[in-house]
Chains A and B, each alone.
Chain A
Amino acid sequence: MQISNMLGLDWLRQNAFVAVFGMAVPTIIFLLFVGYPILYTVYLSFFSWNGADGAKTFIGLQNYTDMWNDSYVWTALKNNFRWLVVTLIFPVVAGYSIAYVLRARLVPFPALVRTVIFFPVTMSLIAVGLMFLLILNPMFGALNVALESLGLGFLIREWFGDHRIAIYTLAFVSGWAFTGMPMIFYFAGLGDVPKETLDAARLEGAGHFRIATRIALPQLRPVTAVVVMLTIFESMRAFDLVAVMTKGAPFGSTTVLGYQVYLESFWNSRVGYGAAISTLILVLSAGLAALVLSRLMKGAFDG
């Protein structure tokens, strides 16, 4: 065997276009715009820097020990997980349910319903936040008025003012905007479930609930893995709604890690500390993604 063939040079010569535009260029772009910023963020997390002057002081792991003792970071971390739980339950379950209903044609005009449900995904979260600020306004918001008129006034809450529920309000709003995404994934996935399987289940007397939960869902494991992964990333990078709706208030109870990064880096001029929190987000996201891949994706594509 020739050396050039052993080194794969022959393949490169024959597939130069693929090698350059399919591999080299994307790799360079990735390293430049994703890899380098990530590495630089990790590097910055070992420094004290106000972002304004050129003087960066190396402080080792000080930012990480500060983070460990910072109650705001802990609150933010807990809030990210609360956010994740809400968005894993509400939009994913709702998205799957709607997708099944649409696929089974249990509602009229399924294409229209699908478009309407998907529409919020295309909206800016800033616009969504401003809209819900009005809807949930305690003085004249539509939700409280609707609850009152339905005789459900006892359910009225300070949706943003009560520190015990404010984070769930934000996560719910995020879920509302996000529902269309799992719906569209599941809708596509349900199309791949063999018709024979579903027909057989119907002949066996299974109802829609049983088919949806016992027959279709187990076959959608790869889709669920992707949806869960997207939900994790969506929850870990939560920022827009907090920034536009509460700014972490009341009492810092709605802060999330992404908002803390912004606050510390730009507001409090602690760029190194903000970088340390960013690194935490990176580690958490990667860890959770690895967990999902190892559990949900394992054997998902096995024949």
Chain B
Amino acid sequence: MFNISNGIGRRTVFRLMAASALCMSAVAGSAQADPVELRYFYRAPWPSSEVYANWLIDQWNAKNGDRIHVTGASVDGETYKTKQAIELASSSPPDIFYSWEGGRAAEVIANGFAADLTPYYEQYGWKDALVPASVSLATFDDKQYFLPTEIGASVVWYRTDIYEQLGLSVPTTWDELMANAEKIKEAGITPFNLANQKKWPAQFMWSAILVNKYGLETYDGLVNNTIPWTDPRAVDVTQMMVDLAQNDMFEDSFNSVDLAPAFVPWDQGKVAMWYQGSFNLGAFRGESEKCCTAPMSFFPMPAFPDHDPVMSVFAEDTLMIHAKSPHKDEAAEFLDWIVSQQAMTEKLAIDKPFPSRIDADLTSLSQMEQDLGKAIAGAGAFTFMHVDHAVSPAISDRFLDAVQGALAGAISPEDAMKMTEEAAIRVRGEVLAQAQN
């Protein structure tokens, strides 16, 4: 029988106690050494985006991996919504995740998935470091919910060689733009690329015309459901787009041409202008070291009489911290690395522009890209998102279908906007009813 008073027994007890103490201290030591594991769910729509994300993670882990270790998982641009919905609602959601701005971000916030980043904006000084328009886009009810890591703008890209050849000057008004387009058409060149097969490209021009013709407040009213989509101003803009289509201002079969193939006639000089986002700069750059393959430049969508021109600036890549993440502080630290000057400068070398940081060094870019970068940074806090970013997908999908149908001549502009309004009433009917009352 074991006797605690026995000499050997006591020694054994002491040895056991000593061994236990050693084990406990070893366990405690190893617990301290175990890094915090962060899961980073990012969107990689281009091959360069994947390369850049891997660089970001590798650099971070090399410096901080013993303290905060990051594991990345990417999703392509097309399927991210499906995967995001599943990931966010799962029992082990990612700590940091990509989300679109606008309506989609609002849904994610409303569902309680996004952590309030306002304290981190203060702590890391992001408000001052980032492009004001992007901070404005990240703000919902006076709180910041995402960190914009890449920003973009929609502008009219134009072929400088065609403009020179035809003796055209950069337009500053809508009428001048249309006069240029007529001359381009007379020369046998397509005035505008639309490439509307996937139905989202046409909305770029639609929203830019609406904002520049009827003001930002009208557009905000539509997307915030205080003005119905059947409003005559929305119908008028749709009619203007239809008129452009019927007047052969867009390429042939524009509803059958996808974005990527549309770069072929652009590079061949068969098209003179293209109202599109700066996220295409990677494609414009092609294999060239600097932008762009074709001689080109940009100008903002010209203004209409009595209105100041407004350039659409949007947050192309945005990151949120999951509300249920147990490592929010560590996640914020990693986010701060992503928007650091070093990381943002590297982004220009690996991925496409534009970084969301004001003081990012743009000198490695072509002069045109530098000019656009400065224009974006100087756009101020007042800007607008295109419809599919600004409202929830249930509304924007109907809108995109409707505009495509109107451009195809399948329905009238009135019916197109009625279709959109029906979706808006179904999704947010009560808001509209209150506003009208």
Contacts and interface: CB of A to CB of B under 8 A. Distances in A.
Interface in B350-393: 392-393
B409 to A, nearest CB: 9
A215 interface: no
B256 A161 contact: yes
A249 B401 contact: yes
A139 B257 contact: yes
B241 to A, nearest CB: 14
Interface string A205-249: 000000000000000000000000000000000000000001111
B298 to A, nearest CB: 24
B261 A140 contact: yes
Interface in B196-223: 197-199
A163 to B, nearest CB: 5
B45 interface: no
A267 B397 contact: yes
Contact of A133 (B89, B258, B393): B258
A47 B253 CA distance: 42
Contact of A249 (B107, B264, B404): B404
Contacts of B30: none
Given A160-B197, A161-B197, A268-B393, A249 B255 contact: yes
Interface residues of A, number: 30
B256 A267 contact: no
Contacts of B257: 137-139, 161
Nearest to A139: B261
A246 B397 CA distance: 13
A67 to B, nearest CB: 13
B408 A251 contact: yes
Interface string B51-65: 000000000000000
Task: Summarize A's interface: helix, strand, loop or mixed.
Answer: loop
Interface string B257-292: 110010011000000000000000000000000000
B89 A163 contact: no
A140 B264 contact: yes
A159 B393 contact: no
A251 B410 contact: yes
B397 A268 contact: yes
A248 to B, nearest CB: 7
Contact of B197 (A51, A53, A163, A246): A246
A166 to B, nearest CB: 9
Nearest to A268: B394
Counting contact residues on chain B (CB < 8 A from A), the size range is 20 to 34
A198 to B, nearest CB: 47
A163 B255 CA distance: 9
Interface in A256-273: 262-263, 266-270
A110 interface: no
Contacts of B405: 163, 250-252
A163 B215 CA distance: 33
A158 B253 contact: yes
A250 B252 contact: no
Interface centre among B111, B113, B265, by most chain A C-beta atoms within 10 angstroms, is B111
Interface stretch (B80-88, B131-139, B175-183, B230-238): B80-88
A50 interface: yes
B22 interface: no
A269 B392 CA distance: 10
Contacts, number: 95
Contacts of B265: 139
Interface string A111-155: 000000000000000000000010001111000000000000000
A6 interface: no
A269 B197 contact: no
Given A53-B111, A266-B82, A250 B261 contact: no
Given A50-B111, A138-B253, A138-B256, A161 B394 contact: no
Interface string B393-418: 11001000110110010110000000
Contacts of A51: 85, 89
A12 B255 CA distance: 65
Contacts of B88: 52
Contacts of B397: 263, 267-268
B199 A249 contact: yes
Contact of B404 (A251, A263, A268): A251
B408 A250 contact: yes
Contacts of B401: 248-249, 251-252
Contact of A139 (B89, B107, B264, B393): B264
Interface string A23-38: 0000000000000000
Contacts of B402: 251
B411 A269 contact: no
B77 interface: no
Given A139-B261, A250-B405, A268-B394, A52 B111 contact: yes
B256 A159 contact: yes
A269 B198 CA distance: 21
A252 B401 CA distance: 6
Nearest to A134: B261
A248 B199 CA distance: 9
B254 interface: yes
10 contacts: A52-B111, A137-B256, A138-B252, A159-B256, A161-B253, A161-B254, A247-B198, A262-B82, A266-B85, A267-B394
Q: Nearest 3 A-B pairs (CB), nearest first?
A: A161-B256, A251-B405, A161-B255
Given A50-B111, A267-B394, 10 more contacts: A133-B258, A139-B265, A161-B197, A161-B253, A161-B255, A163-B405, A250-B255, A250-B405, A251-B411, A262-B82
